[in-house]
Structure 1
Amino acid sequence: MNVALLGTAGVFLALALTTLIWAVAGRAVGRRHTVLVATWLCMALGATLVIFSFFPTSSAEGTVFGWSLGGAGAFVLLIWTGALRAARQAEPRDAKDMEIRRQDEQIARLTERLTMLGADCGPRIVPGRRKIDYRLTGNSRRRFGIIVGDIRLVTDVDVWVSSENTDMEMSRFYERSLSAIFRYGGARRDEAGHVIDDCVDAELSAKVAGRRPVVPGTAISTTSGELSRSNKVKYLIHVAAVSGEPGHGYRQVGNIALCAKNALAEAEGLPDVASVVLPLFGAGAAGADIQATVRAVSAVVAEHLERATARIRTVYLLAYTDAELAACSAVLNGMPELRPPSR
């Protein structure tokens, strides 16, 4: 046994293990294939030297660049030649890996920038509350307008309309929806704000008992509970404007114009009411197209207000965000039935 050859073999095998560990690390991207060639070369050299240390009479012969070699030298040179050829083939792969890494980093940077831009440019809640009134060109006593901002600050509209699902199940108290606001605002609460009588939801549930789910567009009125005292609301109208699907959540129903038509028809049948505020049915959490929704609802409202027999004299659309306000303004400004508000 040749101890010197065996020791050299151990050095090459240790180098092979070291380069292998480095090659699989993330920082080796772009050089991984070349490093693995070196790993393979060290392992092969180490194995060759182990063989010749135990079997010194082993032989190998070959001719390289016109030189004749034999013994361990032939093995080593043969392996080295193969390694050089493999290294040349590995270079394009390393270049491709490096390009892929650069592209991944660029995509990550662009994704981060788009996320930041989306946060900056997304819909913003309009603070406070204000009204924008349009009058019908054929009847100046009829108004169609926009209530901008938080509906909880509204105290001069007789009927509030809520968008509900086809099961007529109101949102939970702390969800971000009109249904939740109406349910909590209408409930009787103790001094700490805890609900002691969920009266609006109870009344709605009693009216649809045994009839769930209802037909899309169905409109059902209830009393307003505590909202009559806090906001002077006379009635609430609940409209089946979204339908649920497991795994997909709620989506706007197909005929949104019918939702507006039925809500106004229900309001006409209520005593002592003259004004209504409508939501943008399904354009909030259900994610429907805002402008298409505004166009569909506005056409119904304008037609209703033009009727000489209509008892409802004023209808508002609720615009809670700047995106909803922009859509409502664009549609109403383009309606020939309406006279723009005076500046």
Structure 2
Amino acid sequence: MRTLSYRASVSGGDLRQAAVVFVHGLFSSPTTWTPLQREMSEIPAVSDEYDFLFFEYATRPVTWNPLRRMPDLDTIAESLRGFIGDLTAGYGRVALVTHSQGGLVAQRYLSRMLLAGRGRELAKIRRLVMFACPNNGSDLFLLARRGLIPMTRNSQERELKPLQTSVLETQRRVIDGIVRAPELAHDRCPIPIVAYAGESDNVVVPSSAAGFFPETGVLPGDHFSVIKPSGPDSRIVHAVRKELARALAEPFPAEPQPEADIPHRRRPAHPAADVLTEREVAGPIDVPTGGPDGHAIPFYLHGGPVEQLRNVDVVVSSENTYLQMSQFFKPSTSGSLRRAAAEKSGGGQILEDVAGDHLATWLRSHGSYGLPVPGGTVAPTPAGALSKRNVQRIYHAAIAAPVAGTNNYAVDPQSIPRAVHHTFDLARQEREDGLTLSSICFPLFGAGRGGMSVLESFELIWEPLMSELAEDPSWSIHFTTRRKTIFDLLHERLLVKQRAHGRTT
């Protein structure tokens, strides 16, 4: 992994597929990122995928040189535009990671690009991660302005005053044209933005760091220590690693499609050539867990109809938060499993809805029938007719929450790791109750009507999965999909994981 400063040039060697651009804060410099850079460079999953670039701009409390002026945020944002345009030209994806005022610089850059009608040029930026950004200003700087700092006439510091008009206008444009943008156009570009606060920060309090952004988090530390890891297991390291993995998985924004001459929009059907109609299996792909005993876990991929699965003890189904399975005729994993588990007559009539009936019984016994359950809840049912294919159990994971007044679903990303952990908790409990379970098959949670990309779903499953397997390596893990393109994509990602984890053991 190479590190490039503002004045560096890209030369020699093969570029990684992605770059992360770090932007420092007020009265700071790129050296503020050195401790974090050192830890991140030791993580193969990051260093194999990313080059590190560091944007530098002039920011001093005071300058006495009459030939120099302190650049304002608009000027710095324009400089960042040139930096990104020049130094990231060879990369397919870009993530922005900022500290303090650096978050305002990044937002001003995005806002100015939209205002100039250059939204399409932002498409490869797949994540903005802000740490301790004064989105609602800094009360501490407001107090300081009433004392010594006004003497400096610092144009950057003035924009840290709470409710500064220029900052609010920038944020409105970013919220409307970036965060809420449904598609790519000249004046908008969907980019996920995450705002983290320091829990003991008295310069930028958590409410200001969160601002108007919907995706937020809080990490240990004050305004400066929040981005300085104390070691490889620090929460800041885990947070940045997670966000960079999500930037790799984030789908590129699509252009708006012309309206079809139909009553309403429908999701286009998958081309017939991409749908696997017969069972296809790849594996085992042995991936080391990184645990103390150096165990490697066998992973398998199953392509084709889920009802053709065999010799897997537990099959996990992705459900809505009401834990209501899809109807028998639906092509979803849930509908296919419901139909496959049902006891049927010779003519195909449903005699007993095994999975659906047992799931309803579970809901009633837990006082949840007709009510939503917390995302990540997992409920067990018998496998019914699938037991003839050596499937013992179906686990139903609550992932997608229905959006009121629509036919759409929303997925809380945190429900996916919770579902993974709860799946293992339940499987271990059923082992203790006498079932012989050793294999679990996962779907790609949220990648159907939940709207998640395949790689984002896979990465959200992967981290908690490997955490569980490091503690208990007695399982084999399976994934299932009906689409050939997804089957091939997952096969490649598993081989990448195998190589990466092999280097860490």
How does the TM-score come out when normalised to structure 2? 0.41
Unaligned runs of 5+ in 1: 1-109, 113-117
> In 2, Cα distance between the equivalents of 1:130 and 1:197?
30
Q: 1:216: which partner in 2?
A: 375
- The 1-side partners of 2:327 and 2:269 are apart by 27
Residue identity matched to 1:284: G
How far apart are the structure 1 equivalents of 2:464 and 2:272?
29
In structure 1, C-alpha distance between the alignment counterparts of 2:487 and 2:502, rounded to whole Å: 18
Contact 1:190–1:196, Cα closer than 8 Å, also in 2: yes
Paired residue secondary structure (1:285): coil
* Partner amino acid, structure 2, of 1:130: V
Which residue is equivalent to 2:305? Answer: 150
Mark the CA change 1:275 to 1:171 in structure 2 (over 3 Å): closer, same or farther.
same
- Distance 1:269-1:121 versus aligned 2 partners, 3 A rule: same
2:423 is equivalent to residue 263 of structure 1: yes
Counterpart residue identity of residue 291, structure 1: L
1:134–1:338: 8 Å Cα contact kept in structure 2? no
Bigger mean CA offset, 269-278 vs 259-268: 259-268
Letter of the 1:207 counterpart? W
Change (3 A) 1:183 1:283: same
Q: Are positions 1:240 and 2:398 aligned together?
A: yes
- Kept in 1, the 8 Å contact 2:281–2:300? The answer is no
8 Å CA contact retained: 2:400, 2:410: yes
Alignment of 1:58-137 (within 5 A): 124-128=274-278, 129-137=280-288
* Secondary structure of the structure 1 residue equivalent to 2:274: coil
Aligned counterpart, 1:314: 476
Instruction: Check conservation: 1:278, 1:317, Cα contact below 8 A.
Output: yes
Q: Secondary structure at 1:317's aligned position in 2?
A: strand
Q: Does 1:277 align with 2:441?
A: yes
Q: 2:451 maps to which residue?
A: 287
User: Which of 486, 494, 500 is the aligned partner of 1:324?
Assistant: 486
> Which amino acid is 1:253 matched to?
D
When residues 300 and 145 of structure 1 are mapped into structure 2, their CA distance, relative to the original with a 3 A threshold, is: farther
Q: CA deviation at 1:326?
A: 3.7
> Which residue of structure 2 aligns with residue 190 of structure 1?
345
1:161, 1:278 within 8 Å by CA — same for their partners in 2?
Answer: yes
Q: Which has the higher helix share?
A: 1
Aligned-partner Cα distance in 2 for 1:145–1:338: 17
AA paired with 2:478?
Y
Partners of 2:477 and 2:330 in 1: how far apart? Answer: 26
Equivalent positions of 1:164-203 (< 5 A) are 164-203=319-358
The Cα of 1:276 is off from its aligned counterpart by 0.6
How far has the Cα of 1:259 moved from its partner? Answer: 1.9
Q: Tell me which of the two structures has the higher relative contact order, counting C-alpha pairs closer than 8 angstroms and 6 or more residues apart.
A: 1
Q: Any idea what SS the aligned residue of 2:479 has?
A: strand
Distance 1:120 1:318 in 2: 17
Q: The residue matched to 1:242 in structure 2 has which SS?
A: strand
> Residues of 2 paired with 1:303 and 1:221: CA distance?
22
Q: Is the 2:306–2:337 Cα contact (8 Å) retained in structure 1?
A: no
The CA distance in 2 between the partners of 1:127 and 1:232, in whole Å, is 21
TM-score for the superposition, normalised by structure 1: 0.59
Q: Return closer, same or farther for 1:310/1:324 CA change in 2, 3 Å cut-off.
A: same
CA contact (8 A) 1:162 1:179 kept: yes
8 A contact 1:294–1:327 mirrored in 2: no
> What is the letter of the counterpart of residue 468 of structure 2?
H
Change (3 A) 1:310 1:238: same
Distance 1:298 1:122, change over 3 A: farther
2:314 pairs with 1:159: yes
3-state SS of the aligned residue for 1:269?
helix
Tell me if the contact between 2:326 and 2:332 (Cα under 8 Å) persists in the aligned partners. Answer: yes
Q: Is the 8 A contact 2:295 2:473 kept in 1?
A: no
Give the secondary structure class of the aligned counterpart of 2:362: helix
For residues 273 and 411 of structure 2, the distance between their equivalents in structure 1, rounded to whole angstroms, comes to 19
1:203 Cα deviation (Å)?
0.7
Q: Distance in 1 between matches of 2:338 and 2:271?
A: 31
The CA deviation string for residues 212-237 of structure 1, in whole angstroms up to 9 with x for no partner, is: 210000011111111112x2111110
Q: Distance in 2 between matches of 1:156 and 1:238?
A: 19
Change (3 A) 1:187 1:122: closer
Cα contact 2:447–2:453 (8 A) shared by 1: yes
> How many angstroms does 1:257 deviate by?
1.8
Say which of 452, 462, 468 aligns to 1:304: 468
| CA contact 2:287–2:501 (8 Å) conserved in 1 | yes
Contact in 2 for aligned 1:257/1:297 (Cα 8 Å): yes
What is residue 36 of structure 1 aligned with on the other side? Answer: none
Q: Whose Rg is larger?
A: 1
Cα deviation for residue 198 of structure 1 reads 1.1
Report if aligned partners of 2:328, 2:338 keep a CA contact under 8 Å in 1. yes
* 2-structure distance, mates of 1:119, 1:200: 27
Structure 2 unmatched ranges of 5 or more: 1-257, 261-267
Q: For 1:303 and 1:337, locate their aligned partners in 2 and report how far apart those are by CA, in whole Å.
A: 15
Residue 207 (1) aligns with residue 362 (2): yes
Once residues 327 and 259 of structure 1 are traced to their aligned partners in structure 2, the CA distance between those partners, rounded to angstroms, is 23
Cα distance per residue 1:262-299 (max 9 Å; x no partner): 22222222221000100001102332111111111122
Contact 1:159/1:277, CA 8 A, preserved across alignment: yes
Residue 103 of structure 1 aligns with which residue? none
